[in-house]
């Protein structure tokens, strides 16, 4: 009988210590050094980041639309616009990648290109994209050589995408800019 209680107590102690040690004592957002003590600043920051909701906005009709999908991302839209002439193999917004199929402009089956665009950030800036251009040259159907090029096409694509994304960003900023009266500067 004593042995059963001892085993049960030992088991409970081990289980409790595993549970407590698994927590690690850290909770998300619990670092006071990273959170402002001023509630107005916290509210302003959360609203800018799109976190939370407001009870006083529930009954109101919203003017305009808030997009939570790919068409609101300027880089994504610009990339699709710039390579719209090419057939796509993969366009995964959540994965942040666009892959085209092999494309030949002059119906030359012996030469074609393929483009891969990886999004590293949603911000419109020069290091936001990783563009790769692959060149395929075939002597016969079974004798093809594929190489990655870092030349003129890659630079022109990146520049065109960033230029178009900047235009979209300016249009979006101009259309969506509204000073919220309930947030103080």
Q: Is the pLDDT of residue 87 over 50?
A: yes
- In tens, the pLDDT along 10-44 reads 777 887 776 766 555 555 555 666 777 777 777 67
Q: What is the pTM of this model?
A: 0.56
Which CATH class for the 70-176 domain? Answer: alpha beta
Both tokens assigned to 115: 């483009």
At 70 the pLDDT is 57
Neighbouring C-beta atoms of residue 54, cutoff 10 Å: 10
Give the least confident one: 4-18, 142-156, 160-174: 4-18
At 21 the pLDDT is 61
Q: Is the pLDDT of residue 49 over 70?
A: no
- In tens, the pLDDT along 176-185 reads 655 455 555 4
Residue 162: which residues within 8 A CB-CB, separation 6 or more?
Answer: 78, 124, 125, 126, 128, 129
Give CA–CA dist 21/15, Å, rounded: 10
At 65 the pLDDT is 44
92 to 66, 70, 111, 116: CA distances (angstroms): 21, 10, 27, 12
Give the domain ranges of the chain: 70-176
At 68 the pLDDT is 45
Query: pLDDT grade, residue 67 (50/70/90)?
Result: very low
Q: Is the pLDDT of residue 107 over 80?
A: no
Give CA–CA dist 164/157, Å, rounded: 11
At 22 the pLDDT is 57
Based on the number of CB atoms within 10 Å of its own CB, is 99 exposed (0-12), middle (13-18) or buried (19 or more)?
middle
CB distance 89 to 100 below 8 Å? yes
Looking at per-residue pLDDT, the higher value among 145 and 108 belongs to: 145
């Amino acid at each position: 009988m004593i042995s059963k209680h001892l085993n049960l107590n030992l088991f409970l102690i081990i289980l409790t210590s595993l549970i407590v040690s698994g927590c690690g004592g850290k909770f998300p957002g619990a670092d006071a050094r990273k959170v402002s003590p001023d509630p107005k600043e916290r509210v302003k920051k959360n609203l800018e980041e799109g976190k939370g909701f407001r009870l006083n906005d529930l009954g109101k009709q919203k003017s305009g639309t808030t997009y939570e999908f790919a068409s609101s991302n300027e880089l994504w839209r610009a990339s699709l616009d710039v390579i719209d002439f090419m057939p796509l193999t993969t366009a995964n917004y959540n994965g942040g990648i666009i892959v085209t199929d092999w494309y030949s402009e002059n119906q030359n089956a012996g030469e074609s290109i393929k483009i891969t665009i990886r999004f590293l950030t949603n911000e419109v800036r020069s290091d936001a994209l990783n563009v790769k251009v692959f060149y395929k040259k075939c002597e016969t159907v079974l004798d093809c050589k594929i190489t990655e090029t870092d030349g003129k096409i890659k630079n022109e694509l990146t520049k065109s995408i960033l230029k178009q994304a900047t235009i979209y960003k300016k249009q979006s900023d101009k259309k969506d800019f509204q000073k919220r009266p309930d947030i103080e500067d």
